[in-house]
Structure 1
Amino acid sequence: LLAHREERNRAANSVLSDVLQVLEGYGSTETCGAITSSMFGDLGGGHVGPPMPNCEIKLCNIEELDLVSSRDNRGEICCRGAVCTPGYYKNEELTKTLIDEDGWLHTGDVGTWLENNRLKIVDRRKHIFKLSQGEYVAPEKIEHIYAQSPYVHQIFVDGDALRSYPVAIVVPEGEALARALQDAESRGETLTPVASASGTADCNNNVAPSLTKRDSTHWSIRKNKTQNTTAPSGDSGTPGQSLPAQSEVFRLQNRDVTLAELCLYPEATKIILNDLHQLGRAADLKGFEQVRALFLIHESFSVENRLLTPIMKCARHAIRQRYQNELQKLFTSGELD
């Protein structure tokens, strides 16, 4: 039914589970199809089932992340069997990067075993990062959760081995954010845009505030969004079209403002952070997985600006390079919180 995108599978399950059973499987071009599949009668979801016949699967250690599969029950998913390709056509060097000397095909995906030999996909190996306290963070998982926010158009979560928390770059949903800011102003809050020397939002004002329950009217505008309407992380996925452009002008403080101007309000950052943290708690994110600081931008990730790949995935390295100064300031501001 659906492929490549875990969040789409979850959306399909939620919609279709009342009328039929949705089975989830896992595989790739190099495995000539599925190597795992959930079973009839297993309605739990959140996994891709046990291995298929004629296929061995194991989790391999990931040295750069200090992941030992026997200790952590987490590692790179490797498979072996008749379903696996013998290699790339006339490309021995590339084949060696795919298949090791013992015949195990390395998928590049990180997984963990659940009970009854069911496999759960965690993230891509090259996306996971380790925090300073030794915890591992899968950014794509966090992005999928945060993408449910009505204030998030696109989001990129990043971290560093020298820091104890992740941070995020967010392209806001202008219309929803403008309404929330108007609500805040109607409650007597003062809205004052803050600009740095570069004309962008001052990262020192993007630190997570103390979290309190927001007015229930904000929940009424929550949209049932999935990451296919944002820009998920990764390097592969279902091809698609660039996201539609947002309206260029919004109403705030009895005047027209642009999305770039909305991004300059510290209150906008607080509203979004509150919402993300509430979503994270509802999804049982651990404390170290919650972003501590945000940087708001008005330019959407796109293929044209090379912040999306041609198959509509976040170009993580390009985003990290483009916003390296902003990310560094976010880490610094988070430490001062």
Structure 2
Amino acid sequence: MFSGGRIGFLTDGIESLFDDFRDFKPTFFCSVPRLLVRLYMNFSKKVHSKPIIRKVCQYEINKRMEEQKHGIYRRNGIIDFLFFREFRELLGGRVRAIISGSSPIDRDVLCFIRAVLSCPVSEAYGSTETLGLVCSTMFEDVDAYHVGAISPGVQIKLIDVPEMGIFVSKDQMGEICIRSKSNMLGYYKNQEKTEEVLDSEGFVHTGDVGVWLKNGALKIVDRTKNIFKLSQGEYVAPEKVEQTYLFCNLIQHVYVEGHSLKPYAVAVVKPNFRRLRKEAVDIISKLSKTISSPIEKKCENMKDRELLEEITDAELCTNKEIREFILERMNSIAREKGLKGFELTEEMLLTV
């Protein structure tokens, strides 16, 4: 504002977000990964059934990523005109820089946003208790999976989380604790909560687990309350797994959980039923013919597409073949995204 900028506010909640973007035409904005993932998924959906176009676009994205390592951001070329421009227009067409925060962002999404929008994206980390920014990546940094170096005037230490079996000396990760002049003095009229979060040295205990990288950058693993340990001793960060699974177009929502007595994680999944009915026609058709109902008896010669309408979402969720079909697709995508074997779920519950 001091430099002549203007601020826009949503007019009708998240539903009108892209309409507001087109009206406001922002040059800079702060985002959460969910919005950027939504752009990425829209693009993937558009080129999914066109292998040649998909390969050409990926080639252009890879080329731009190499150029951006040298500070080159361009918006020209036939691929840009035919495919990338419309995604920039969704955000108003004038975005010059983005800051992403609140949770880690997938590398493929980050590369896509930087290349297609042709602008730098900084990953930032902070909290209300520390009055905002603690770490952030430089706009020139095109790496992923970290939140950059510590901001001036900020101190960070990692401490053990013994109740979770996490020890800095052994695991090279621990709970992130922050001290700076901008730290809060405490929670208003809540001394008990203040003493839980703010220690005697003035460090705020964030509840986040982090690890230092060799280049001095901080990598956020997950919340201490979220991470769980499997029976074989491996740690799983469920938020990372959930975000990866959401790249599967057969699901809308997913929740991952685990226990120290079990060797694998489990998941609760809400399918994308519309997409599921299109892709699992054979399975659903077989299921349709096993359901006895007055409608089914009258319509024995219905076409598969009509049969699908007789199966309720709840009935799909209880079918073993449907569960296996979705789980196989989820884990296939997760492997492509680099998840390790112990991070994959082997059992899941489908729900409406």
Q: TM-score, normalised by structure 1?
A: 0.66
Task: Write the deviation string for residues 54-108 of structure 1: whole angstroms up to 9, x where unpaired.
Answer: 1101111101111111221111111112121122233322110111122211001
Structure 1 residue 183: deviation in Å? 4.4
Taking the aligned partners of 2:308 and 2:230, their CA distance within structure 1 comes to 44
Amino acid at match of 1:285: L
Which of 112, 134, 144 is 1:14 aligned to? 112
Q: Does 1:80 align with 2:80?
A: no
* Deviations, residues 223-279 of structure 1 (Å, cap 9, x unaligned): xxxxxxxxxxxxxxxxxxxxxxxxxxx956354222112112212111111111111
1:263 aligns with 2:309: no
Aligned 8 A contact 2:107 2:144 in 1? no
Structure 2 CA distance, aligned partners of 1:14 and 1:154?
22
Q: Which has the higher helix share?
A: 2
**Gapped regions of structure 2 (runs ≥ 5):** 1-29, 32-100, 292-303
- The structure whose Rg is larger is 2
Q: Which residue of 1 aligns with 2:65?
A: none
Q: CA deviation at 1:180?
A: 2.0
Out of 226, 242, 245, the position equivalent to 1:127 is 226
C-alpha distance in 2, partners of 1:81/1:92? 20
Does the 8 Å CA contact 1:191/1:267 hold for their aligned counterparts? no
Amino acid at match of 1:56: Q
Residue of structure 1 in register with 2:72 after alignment: none
Output aligned runs, 1:43-192, within 5 Å: 43-184=142-283, 190-191=286-287
Shift of 1:24: 1.2
Q: Distance in 2 between matches of 1:76 and 1:252?
A: 54
Q: Which amino acid aligns with 1:174?
A: F
Cα pair distance change 1:193/1:57, threshold 3 Å: farther
The answer to whether the Cα contact below 8 Å between 2:288 and 2:307 also exists between their aligned partners in 1 is no
The CA distance in 1 between the partners of 2:289 and 2:261, in whole Å, is 31
Equivalent residue for 2:331?
A: 277
Question: 1:81 is matched by which residue type in structure 2?
Answer: S
* Alignment partner of 1:288 is 2:314: no
Contact 2:288 2:310 in 1 (8 A): no
Deviations 1:127-179 (A, max 9, x none): 11111111111111100000111111111111111101001111111011112
TM-score w.r.t. length of structure 2: 0.64
The answer as to whether partners of 2:228 and 2:235 remain within 8 angstroms in 1 is: yes
Any idea what SS the aligned residue of 2:121 has? coil
**SS class of match (1:292):** strand
Residues 264 and 118 of structure 1: is their aligned pair in 2 closer, same or farther, counting only changes over 3 Å? same
The match for 1:335 is none
Name the amino acid aligned to 1:291: T
Query: Aligned partners of 1:43 and 1:279: how far apart in 2?
Result: 24
d(CA) in 2 for partners of 1:100 and 1:193?
64
Compared with structure 1, are the counterparts of its residues 185 and 33 closer, same or farther at alpha carbon in structure 2 (3 Å cutoff)? Answer: closer
User: Counterparts of 2:306 and 2:183 in 1: how far apart (Å)?
Assistant: 57
After superposition, the C-alpha distances for 1:306-332 in whole angstroms (9 at most, x for unaligned) are xxxxxxxxxxxxxxxxxxxxxxxxxxx
User: How far off is 1:6 after superposition?
Assistant: 2.9
* Secondary structure of 2:329 counterpart: helix
Query: Are the counterparts in 1 of residues 246 and 252 from structure 2 also a CA contact under 8 Å?
Result: yes
The letter for the 2-side match of 1:145 is T
Tell me if structure 2 keeps the 8 A contact 1:113–1:119: yes
Name stretches of at least 5 consecutive residues in structure 1 with no aligned partner. 196-249, 299-337
CA contact (8 A) 1:132 1:164 kept: yes
Q: Give the AA of the match of 1:38.
A: T
